[in-house]
Structure 1
Amino acid sequence: MSEHSHDHAHAHEDAPAADRWKHDGVRVIKGDQLDANTAQTPGMFRQAAINHARVGAQKIWAGTVTIQPDAKTGVHHHGELESIIYVLRGKARMRWGERLEYVAEAGPGDFIFVPPYVPHQEINADPAEPLECVLVRSDNEAVVVNITDVDPVERPEEVYWVDPIHKAPGA
C-alpha cells in the first residue's frame, strides 16, 4: 500500500471538512475483510462490506449473503428501499405479488431488482447447493415489513431464511 492508502474504518474528525476527502475518500474493502457482525441465523450467513459503521456510508448498504439449500424467507417488503441482488453462485428464485403469483429465477451473473413496497419471497431454488449473492440496498437502515395475511402460491418450506429482520411466518 502506498503512503496515501488507508485501511482504517474511522474518519479524520480533526481534519477540516473540505480536506476530509484526502483521508476518507475512496475506500477499498478487501473480500477477506467483510464484517460478519450482522444478523446471523441458521440457514443464512450475511457479511457487511459497506455501511455506516464501516465507511460512513449514508445512503447505501452492501454486503454478501449465503443462503443454504431450500431456505426461503417469509413474505415481506422493504418499504421505500430499493434492493439489488447479484447472484455469484447457485440458483435464486424470487416470488412476488399479492399471492406471490409471479416468479423469476436467476443464476450466476444475473442481477435481481426489488422495487419499493413489492411483497416478495427470496428462495434458494437449489435443494443441494448454497446460493451466494451480493446484496445492495438503497439505505443503511434494514427495513423489513413482514406480511402475515398472504396465502402464497409457493408455501415456505420447513427451513426459513429467518433473521432479526426476516421473521418466520406466525412469529
Structure 2
Amino acid sequence: MSAEDHHHHHGEPHAHDREPTAPRWKHDGVRVIKGDQLDPNTAQTPGMFRQAAINHARVGAQKIWAGTVAIEPDAKTGVHHHGPLESVIYVVRGRARLRWGERLEYVAEAGPGDFIYVPPYVPHQEINAKPDETLECVLVRSDNEAVVVNITDVDPIEKPESVYWIDPIHRHPG
C-alpha cells in the first residue's frame, strides 16, 4: 500500500464505524413490540388463540418467528414434525405435555417458567396436560415459513379426539 493510499484511508472511518443516519436506524433498528400490540391477524380456529409478535410482515424478520399461543384445556395436536425448523416453547401459564419419538414412546411435561426445545424432524405431539386450565406459551421458530409434516402411520397414545390444537402450523389431520 503506498503512502498516498494509506493517507487516503487513514482518517476516514470504515463503513462499519460510520455513524448511521438517523432515519435508517429509527425504522430499521431495535424494535419493541408491546404485549398489548400483538397481531391476532393469523389463522384463528376454535381451541386456540395465536398472535404474532415478531415475523417478516411486522418487523422484517428473515430467520425467526415469535408469538404467543393460548391452547384450550385438554387440546392436543396430531403427530407431526416441523421439517428443518427448530422450535422453542416457553410456558407462561398451565402445563404442557410433549410426547416424541418414532412411536411417541418418550414423554415430558413443562410448567410455568420452563423452556421446551423441539429439534428438527423429531416426531412429536403437543398436549395441554390440564383438563381445566388454558395453556399459555411463547413460541419461537427458526424460520418465518410454517413447516409441518403430519405423520399418519403413528397411533397417538393420547388421541386428539376432543379438541385439536390447530393453528397455521398445526393443521387438523382430517
TM over 0.5, yes or no?
yes
The structure 1 segments of at least 4 consecutive aligned residues displaced by more than 4 Å after TM superposition are: 16-19
Match of 1:141 in 2: 145
**2:55 pairs with 1:51:** yes
User: Separation in 2 of the partners of 1:53 and 1:122?
Assistant: 27
Match of 2:91 in 1: 87
TM-score (norm 2): 0.84
TM-score (norm 1): 0.85
Structure whose alpha-carbon radius of gyration is higher: 2
Q: Do the aligned partners of residues 18 and 58 (structure 1) sit closer, same or farther apart at CA in structure 2, a change above 3 Å counting?
A: farther
Match of 1:165 in 2: 169
CA shift, 1:155, in A, is 2.2
What runs of 5+ residues in structure 1 fail to find an aligned partner? 1-15
**SS of equivalent residue, structure 1 residue 53:** helix
Task: Provide, for residues 48-68 of structure 1, a one-character-per-residue CA deviation record: whole Å limited to 9, x for no partner.
Answer: 000000000000000000000
Which residue of 96, 101, 104 maps to 1:97? 101
Question: What is the RMSD of the two structures over their aligned residues, measured on CA atoms?
Answer: 1.7
Task: Provide, for residues 92-121 of structure 1, a one-character-per-residue CA deviation record: whole Å limited to 9, x for no partner.
Answer: 000001111110000000000000000101
Match of 2:78 in 1: 74
Match of 1:42 in 2: 46
**SS of equivalent residue, structure 1 residue 112:** strand
Amino acid at match of 2:97: R
Q: Do the aligned partners of residues 166 and 23 (structure 1) sit closer, same or farther apart at CA in structure 2, a change above 3 Å counting?
A: closer
Task: Provide, for residues 67-110 of structure 1, a one-character-per-residue CA deviation record: whole Å limited to 9, x for no partner.
Answer: 00000001110000000000000000000011111100000000
What runs of 5+ residues in structure 2 fail to find an aligned partner? 1-19
Q: Percent identity between the aligned chains?
A: 86
Aligned residues: 155
